[in-house]
């Protein structure tokens, strides 16, 4: 029997809801940023109402999910009549990015956004898997130097360069916020979690820093980051994973 998330019977309803920008959302995930941080930022950007749910009894919910993992997105139509679900971080982020116009304005811009997102994902994975996921401090320390030399420093060089050639306006593509900008904001947090302000800061990497500043100037993002909920997610993220 097909999983509810994948049932083709909902195709028409799903397609109709996919283009709506007035839904309400629920993000099911643990009480920190982790793999849901970018999703919550995308929702904050959109200005749509969203709640974060950290299941009290994940063990009993797990078998009902398509892959036994979170995050999971639930979207409910403005009239309350339609509900759809999306699983997998990559799919959720891309679904929201498309819905809210964060994938560029045409095929060319979409490729550019995807290019920077892809490069960001590579760094994100390297830092998470080599530094924040390992618990052994010796492993962390052993990986740190290589991470800096082979991954972080090149990333900084290329992104500072490409952002500068786009005018240092805090955007990767044209003059509009995109999925690329949101993922870089997340990556800045990861890098600073490893190296503090040694490599990435307003003075050292002005073009990269401007991405964060521009994002934080968006009214709904600024509002989200001032909530108690966000501050708690931040603190728990630092406590559990080691970065803000």
Angle made by CA atoms 48, 103, 153, in degrees to the nearest 5:
110
C-alpha 27/C-alpha 121 separation (Å) is 21
**Residue 158 touching another protein (CB under 8 A):** yes
Number of chain residues interacting with another protein (CB under 8 A)? 46
**Residue 95 touching another protein (CB under 8 A):** yes
Q: Which helix (H) or strand (E) holds 143?
A: helix 137-146
Separation in Å, CA 112 to CA 33, 104, 106, 225: 26, 8, 10, 28
**Residue 149 touching another protein (CB under 8 A):** no
Separation in Å, CA 155 to CA 86, 135, 176: 31, 25, 22
CB 22 within 8 A of CB 49: no
Convert residues 108-137 into a mask of x (bound to another protein by CB under 8 A) and - (unbound): xx-xx-xx-xxx-xx--x---xx-------
Q: Which helix (H) or strand (E) holds 87?
A: strand 83-87
| Region binding another protein by CB under 8 A among candidate stretches 160-168, 199-207, 215-223, 232-240 | 160-168
Residues from 34 through 73 that contact another protein (CB under 8 A): 66-68
Of 41 and 221, CB closest to another protein: 41
> Measured from the CB of residue 197, what is the shortest distance to another protein in angstroms?
24
The footprint of another protein (CB under 8 A) covers: 1-3, 5-6, 8, 10-11, 14-15, 18-19, 66-68, 86-91, 94-95, 106-109, 111-112, 114-115, 117-119, 121-122, 125, 129-130, 154, 158, 161-162, 165-166, 174
């Amino acid at each position: 029997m097909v999983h509810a998330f994948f049932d083709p019977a909902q195709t028409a309803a799903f397609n109709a809801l996919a283009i709506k920008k007035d839904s309400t959302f629920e993000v099911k995930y643990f009480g920190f940023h982790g793999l849901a941080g970018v999703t919550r930022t995308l929702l904050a950007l959109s200005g749509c109402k969203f709640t974060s749910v950290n299941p009290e009894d994940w063990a009993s919910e797990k078998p009902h999910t398509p892959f036994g993992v979170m995050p999971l997105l639930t979207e409910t139509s403005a009239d309350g009549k339609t509900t759809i679900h999306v699983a997998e971080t990559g799919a959720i982020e891309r679904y929201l990015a498309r819905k809210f116009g964060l994938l560029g304005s045409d095929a060319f811009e979409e490729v550019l956004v995807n290019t920077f997102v892809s490069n960001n994902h590579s760094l994100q994975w390297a830092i998470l898997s080599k530094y924040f996921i390992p618990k052994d401090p010796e492993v962390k320390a052993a990986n740190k130097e290589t991470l800096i030399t082979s991954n972080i420093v090149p990333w900084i060089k290329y992104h500072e360069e490409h952002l500068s050639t786009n005018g240092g306006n805090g955007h990767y593509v044209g003059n509009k916020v995109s999925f690329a900008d949101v993922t870089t904001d997340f990556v800045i947090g990861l890098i600073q979690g490893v190296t503090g302000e040694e490599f990435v800061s307003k003075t050292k990497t002005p073009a990269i820093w401007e991405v964060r500043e521009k994002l934080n100037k968006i009214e709904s993002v600024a509002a989200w980051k001032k909530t108690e909920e966000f501050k708690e997610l931040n603190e728990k993220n630092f406590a559990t994973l080691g970065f803000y």
